[in-house]
A = this chain, B = another copy of it.
Amino acid sequence: MEIELRLVPENKRRPVPELKNLIFGRLFTEHMFVMEYDCNRGWHSARIEPYGAITLDPAAIVLHYAQTIFEGLKAYFGVDGKIRLFRPWENMRRLNRSAERLCMPKIDEDFVLEAIKKLILIDRAWIPREKGAALYIRPFMFGTEPSLGVKPSHSYLLIVILSPVSAYYQEGFNPVKIYVTDEFVRAAPGGTGEVKAGGNYAASLKAAEVAKSKGYTQVLWLDAVERRYVEEVGTMNIFFYFEDELVTPALSGSILPGITRDSVIKLARHWGLPVSERRVSIEEVIEGAASGRLKECFGTGTAAVISPVGVLCYQGQEYLINRGETGPLARRLFDELTAIQYGEKEDPFGWTVVLG
């Protein structure tokens, strides 16, 4: 399939605003990639066109039954002036796993990745240049059929939009305070927690609101069955550094298999640090925090890369981790991963893709 280009004429382009102090996901570039699906024709009408409003029938399935999935990755402007993506195939594969779970059509991963690259190159002036800042890439796909029957849509849109984002840590690498919820549940085994279904995020808003009202930044979720085993935090996976072992919850079926999570596991093992993916109970975590056996705790995700956790609140009690400070392992992982992403260091794993 060809990608049709319907670009904003050069002399009509918007000047790129100053890419500083951006609020995440509010500013978008000039173009977007769009592709349509219907049962008869399959995917068709792939095009890069000016960013702008889309029209939907009010009965479109996405508005009623939330048949929608998404991905999130970034393009980095390197110290060598090259633009890099970080493990983008993993996002394409995960998008297809999400599609499968929600009974949506598969995409051609290579084709969509090529379209994303093309789109980024067209809007390359929108990639912020400082270290830490990046161009956030948001592919998403949703059902558009106007039908109120609860069944998979016969038609879909896949869209990719781009948003310049500032460095996550604008004032230094600061540990966050996290609230462990035993009231709300994010996902159960047999549910949709291991894919990026839109509904998972709507379901998480309330717990985040409660956490925020109590002065915490994010929610740590426990498992749906025993409300005891740690799952993940907000939009990040979680790691615990116990004595000489780095531990992260095993992919239980209700945890999102984060690409940063996988990269941290591989990097730590590459350094010779033992990593285990297993069940971690909240008791083990708080006992470790109290005894000092838990040396560090941090979240991992595309947005922050590594987010050190300084305080955990569980059942009304606060637990300090590493005196509330960023630990050396979190720091080293952050430095190494960002060095790879920004082309400052060699990429021994073949994780980056250089554009253009």
Q: Which residues of A contact B (CB under 8 A)?
A: 23-26, 28, 32, 51-59, 62-68, 70, 101-103, 136, 138, 140, 142, 146-152, 159, 161, 163, 181, 183-192, 197-206, 208-209, 224-225, 227, 234-235
Contact = CB atoms under 8 A, between A and B. Distances in A.
Contacts of A227: 190
B58 A51 contact: yes
Contacts of A101: 206
A152 B205 contact: yes
B150 A201 contact: yes
B201 A200 contact: no
B197 A203 contact: yes
B150 A204 contact: yes
Given A25-B148, A102-B206, A148-B163, 11 more contacts: A25-B59, A28-B146, A51-B58, A59-B138, A62-B63, A66-B199, A136-B148, A150-B201, A185-B191, A191-B191, A199-B203
B183 A190 contact: yes
5 contacts: A28-B59, A28-B146, A58-B161, A150-B208, A185-B188
A202 B58 CA distance: 17
Nearest 4 A/B pairs, CB to CB: A199-B199, A25-B148, A66-B198, A185-B190
A87 to B, nearest CB: 20
A46 to B, nearest CB: 16
A58 B159 contact: yes
A208 to B, nearest CB: 7
Given A54-B55, A65-B198, A68-B202, A150 B224 contact: no
A28 B209 CA distance: 37
B150 A67 contact: no
Contacts of A191: 184-188, 191, 203, 224
A341 B136 CA distance: 53
Contacts of A148: 24-26, 136, 138, 163
Contacts of A197: 66, 199, 202-203
Given A58-B159, A70-B64, A151 B102 contact: no
Contacts of A32: 58
